[in-house]
Amino acid sequence: MGDKPEQSTSSGMTLYQKWEHPNHPLYLHHSDQPGAVLVPQPLVEDNYGTWAQSMTMALMVKNKLGLVDGTITKPTDAQVEELQQWNRCNNLVKTWLLGSMSKEISGSVIYCKDARQMWLDLNTLLLDPLPTVNKAYALVLRHEKQVEVSNGKGSTVQLEAAMFAVRGAGREPETEDGS
């Protein structure tokens, strides 16, 4: 479709697109396939830290880490050929990421627009799966209060307080002798 991997110059030398050099981040090696397994363990709910470290190393080896850390930016629409190559690499990294996680997790990030967004979404989603002890205690207390109110236990005290407030409204305070 018009991809020109090489061009001849007037001197007869062949020029290549910059991403055809193996050190360029948009270079695609013949072994860079969508079904490639980059990390030994798939991402599940409780192994984000080790998975992210393994995936970071694998993407660095593949020279594609910039697509998830934001250092390889998307070319403009005017840069048609480079934009096409960026889209190929971005989609490849997205398939690597999706292929390395559980179905439940992949289902929550499959519609991300690019690999960077997918990486960031996985980070809010899974980086801090366990709350601190104080936060857990506060969550338990809040849950117990909600259960009391929904079961009617907490509402009795609130109802009595509301009735007392209504009874006293509009009356003059009583004196010690009851008048």
Q: What is the pLDDT of residue 45?
A: 87
pLDDT score, position 142: 79
pTM, entire model: 0.65
pLDDT band at 125 (very low <50, low <70, confident <90, very high): confident
Q: pLDDT tens digits, residue range 142-173?
A: 778 877 776 766 555 555 655 555 555 555 55
In the predicted structure, residue 111 carries a pLDDT above the cut 90: yes
What's the Cα-to-Cα distance from 84 to each of 14, 44, 74, 90, 98, rounded to whole Å? 22, 32, 10, 10, 21
The 3-state DSSP class for residue 60 equals helix
Domain ranges of the chain: 6-126, 133-168
